[in-house]
A and B are shown apart, each in its own frame.
Chain A
């Protein structure tokens, strides 16, 4: 149980375009979902916290107009990288939380902006 999926697993897009990443909790309802960014050989950096039906809370330094987060249901959150630039290339990981301290992580999405 407690499986989280992400789609796509890998995406290449051109500079200036937008790309959407989906995060789904497959067998539980997630009141909260989190989006992280991971640089090579570095830690996970929390980008934003997303609660179902309300606006996401962004961490300091993360542009909310660039990284649009939607949490439309208890099993789905999406991250849209708008007007992507090469520096947005990274590994994006989501996690879903059914309650308080529990978080289950997705497999990640590798974004490459050319």
Chain B
């Protein structure tokens, strides 16, 4: 079955602390993995794509095929990082996205 699991509904950290948002997936094959972010009152937007291996806004995510995980990390959280974060996968040829349940990140001053 195709599934994305984000075990934490809410993650609350203090500014400057490290952050790790967990994501595990289930897919028979080699999917594409993504992280999307939704800031308050804004639309969903792409944060990271595993193939590009970029660091966006200080966030990185490494695909671990052995553990079927794609955790999102940032060494020093900022207040402006507070948002809903969704992990998602799509088939290797592209197309539909299957989303995890989302994790709300709250960064306190």
Contact = CB atoms under 8 A, between A and B. Distances in A.
Tell whether A pairs with B.
Answer: yes
Interface of A: 4, 32, 34, 41-46, 49, 93, 95, 97, 99-101, 103, 105-108
B55 interface: no
Contacts, number: 47
A5 B56 CA distance: 25
Contacts of A42: 101-102
Given A43-B86, A46-B96, A100-B94, A106 B43 contact: yes
A99 B44 CA distance: 18
Interface residues of B, number: 20
A105 B45 contact: yes
A105 B98 CA distance: 14
Interface in B55-109: 86, 90, 93-102
Query: Residue among B32, B94, B101 with the most chain A CB within 10 A?
Result: B94
6 contacts: A41-B9, A43-B102, A97-B95, A100-B94, A100-B95, A103-B97
